[in-house]
Amino acid sequence: MSIRLPYSAKSICCASFGTVMAVLANYSAAADTGAESAIDKLVNDSKSQISFRYRYEGVDQDGFNEDANSNTVRTRLSWTSGTLNNFSAKIELDDVRSIGDDDYNSTANGNGQFPVVADPEGSELNQAYIQYSHKGFTAIAGRQGIKLDDQRFVGTVGWRQNEQTYDALRLKYKGKTTKFDYSYVDNVNRIFGPDGDKANLKGGSHLLNVNLDLSKGHKVTVFDYYLDFDKAAALSSNTYGLRYTGKFSPVNLTASYAKQSDAASNPISYDADYWLIDLSGKIGNIKWKLGQETLGSDNGVKAFNTPLATLHKFQGFADKFLSTPNGGIEDRYIGFGSKLSGIAFNITYHQLQSEHNSSDLGSEWDASAAYKFNKHLKGLIKYASYDADSHATDTNKIWVQFLFTL
């Protein structure tokens, strides 16, 4: 199933912020000359925020004589206007800089002798949009972040210093038991920075997500994601399916199924399935989870893929499965977490094999510790150790991160 609008949203999505502000100002002045001016209203009720995110990332990967050692700082400046006649706007600027030696491959610095740390330098407009909200209905036009469900199919890749955002027209409605979310996406601004325009995914894609609240603690989501990319035809696909979340004290259940097939001008004709069964709960101060996620394959020729996902959340922190192998993936995982003296600890184990012929791909241990020093400063340490069998190479990664927000 595919959904196509009878008009182009590109002109709306790419409207300049200056034009938006001028329209709002004229509208307010015409409505009431004695009232506070539009610009005063938007500015006086606005909110601004600045944040600095420092990260060290070290990578020890078989096949490279040199380890990667990356020290980067992301500076983010955000401004959200006040609301005028149900309209508001947001602008967000990002700047990523390397500190010290560039002993890593950022995908843009030419240092191919090192393992990849995909945090290229540069400054760019991360978000810029106008929003209309009234009685449960919201329309957002412009560059924006889009996160759907757990970001398995659509997300912002917020882990990387350069975030993934969308040039889109998004329509949302929230009722008592129903949430409707539809986006027409003209361009996906990927994580490769301002010089990574060639890697952006341009085209006309449609994202439909409808959430139904069945009863307390039980929800069903129906979705259809039609992806059509001009210069990445092999990633064009149509994915539709169901997602269920429910609470059965003391166990929480998440289950999902999806079907994917080629779309638009994809040169490969294929059909592949997706399955997820995830159980979680808490015993005393210990949180636990276990499950299996399967990204299926069409006889080893082509596999289920999720190019818009926040992939770092899935199949392990080491990011060895950013592209699904043609044989597909079966990921069996178990994890535990707790909090001690304000430090949140988590550890997860993944056992990965191909869906097509059940060959061992590899296994991975992931661990993290997060601490909130105060309302302005957060710290995080993460570690990943991937042990390869038939996919990729042995890799160890460590991260030390601090986020300071004002």
Share of the chain above pLDDT 70, in %: 91
For residues 290 and 334, the answer to whether their CB atoms sit within 8 Å is: yes
DSSP E strands: which ranges in 300-342? Answer: 302-303, 329-340
Going by pLDDT thresholds of 50, 70 and 90, the confidence category of residue 1 is very low
pLDDT of 364 > 90? The answer is yes
Rounded CA-CA distance 325/362 in Å is 12
pLDDT of 85 > 70? The answer is yes
Q: What is the mean pLDDT of residues 98-121?
A: 96
Burial class for 57, CB neighbours closer than 10 Å (0-12, 13-18, 19+): buried
For residues 320 and 395, the answer to whether their CB atoms sit within 8 Å is: yes
For residues 92 and 156, the answer to whether their CB atoms sit within 8 Å is: no
* Residue whose pair of structure tokens reads 């707790």 in the numeric block: 338
Rounded CA-CA distance 391/158 in Å is 26
pLDDT of 18 > 70? The answer is no
Phi, psi torsion values for 42, nearest 5 degrees: -65, -40
Q: What is the mean pLDDT of residues 279-305?
A: 98
Segment 309-348, tens digit of pLDDT: 999 999 999 999 999 999 999 999 999 999 999 999 999 9
Structure-model confidence comparison of residues 217 and 255, the more confident one: 255
Segment 26-54, tens digit of pLDDT: 544 444 544 467 778 788 899 999 999 99
Rounded CA-CA distance 228/237 in Å is 7
CATH node for 10-405: 2.40.160.10
Q: Is the pTM of this model over 0.85?
A: yes
Burial class for 216, CB neighbours closer than 10 Å (0-12, 13-18, 19+): exposed
Q: What is the pLDDT of residue 358?
A: 95
DSSP E strands: which ranges in 194-308? Answer: 201-215, 218-227, 237-248, 251-262, 271-283, 286-295, 297-298, 302-303
For residues 329 and 315, the answer to whether their CB atoms sit within 8 Å is: yes
- Per domain, the residue ranges of the chain are 10-405
Q: What is the pLDDT of residue 197?
A: 82
Tell me the CA distances in angstroms from 149 to 131, 156, 208, 223, one per residue in order.
Answer: 21, 12, 12, 10
Q: What is the pLDDT of residue 248?
A: 93
